[in-house]
Amino acid sequence: MAGVSKQCRFSNRQRAKRLMRSANQLVQFILCVRQARNVNRRRNLIRDLGALRLLPFLEVDEFKQEVRCSQQTFARIVSQIENCPVFHNDSATPQREVWVQLACALHRLGHCGSGASLGIVSRAKGVGYGTVSLYTKRVITALDTIAAEYIFWPDSEGRRELSAQNHREFGFEGCILSTDGTHVVLSQMPKLQGEVYWSRKCKYSFNVILTFDRKRQVRYIVSGWPGSVHDAKAWESGSVSKNPGQYFPEGQYQLGDSGFTMTREMLVPYRQPAASNPENAALNLRLSSARVVSEHGNGILKGRWQSLRGLRICINKPEDVRFACQWISACCVLHNMVNRERRTEDFIDRYEEDQEGIDASNQLAGRDRVPISLSNWRREIQSTVLDFWS
């Protein structure tokens, strides 16, 4: 019994030593980790605003490369958003000047691909990665607060002027606006129901409906729909489609392509086989010429605010979809602000969107099945337009 008891006590002492040795090793490991928490050596990055210090001294073309508009228009944008509460707080440390935050945001909104990445903007502007993201969100929030001042449906007098202008130029009496769908491509597959964002153009995108007037000003937006959704369905979800009487008095309408459903408020071209008729083909040609303003408007919008050609937002939750819609709206507000100034120095090349296969896909969607009342209405317009051009 004594031998057994001694052996047990010996085993307990050995076990205690092993536990003590393990505890000492763990303590030493924790101390080493705390002394060297960073695997890579930390760098003290210089945040001196970088190229932003030179921004006021750049020539017009160089200035436009940085912020996508001229000096005068940039100053105008600053004056419109500088009083927004998002740029003012009660902190003892004041925010950077509004023009600095705007310049960082416009760099991201105005470039696509890696040119709009946080790293590129951070190094170019001399601010931190997180700061670039914060400035962008503040500017988008500020633009959202003034969106109603720049994106609005024309009033009765404005509609009469637009109708008269379309009648003088193209023969479409009563036509006031033109609507088109465009795809805002995403830089990566969304994690939130990513498959529904896969469009017929074989890219992940949002399908955005934009309505333009003759001056290429955005008048109405429907956004938030994934790229797989058809133009007609996206349009029908908006307030204008649901309450047409509030926006189109009797006799007024807008133009759309064959991707939209024919209504009293939306004149669309003939589909096959009716489009093969010479008179119907003539109307389609005139309608296409009149509604080119929407294609030009989309081209100008994406040519200047190129982030809409490759949106660098991760769609992981519903809040990301809402932020993407705010981003798109902010670009449209900026488009209208720049376009309203009508400055020669603000001119920028229009982005030519790939149109291959669009008309074919729309025409293959089904025959030209239109109710008799709408068909007669379209023929009345057709007769007036063809007489105008004869």
Q: What is the pLDDT of residues 208-254, one digit of tens each?
A: 999 999 999 999 999 999 999 999 999 999 999 999 999 999 899 99
Q: Which two tokens stand for residue 317?
A: 């939750």
Phi and psi, residue 340, nearest 5°:
-65, -30
pLDDT top residue among 256 and 123: 256
Output the pLDDT for position 358.
46
Residues 14-45 have pLDDT tens digits of: 778 888 888 888 888 888 777 766 656 665 55
- CA 339 to CA 105: how far, in whole Å? 19
- For the chain, which residues make up each domain, given as ranges? 50-145, 153-317+348-389
Closest CA relative to residue 327, chosen from 189, 202, 187: 187
Per-residue CA distances from 26 to 12, 14, 18, 35, 38 (Å): 21, 18, 12, 14, 19
Query: pTM surpassing 0.95?
Result: no
To which residue do tokens 């008269």 refer?
A: 164
Question: In the predicted model, is pLDDT for residue 271 greater than 50?
Answer: yes
The token duo for 39 is 């695997």
- What is d(CA 183, CA 324) in angstroms, rounded to the nearest whole number? 13
User: Of the candidates 240, 269, 234, 272, which has an alpha carbon nearest to the alpha carbon of residue 255?
Assistant: 269
State whether the Cα torsion 142-143-149-154 is positive or negative: negative
CA–CA separation, 214 and 207 (whole Å): 23
Nearest to 312 by CA among 125, 133, 165: 133
pLDDT in tens, 62-111: 999 999 999 999 999 999 999 999 999 887 788 999 999 999 999 999 99
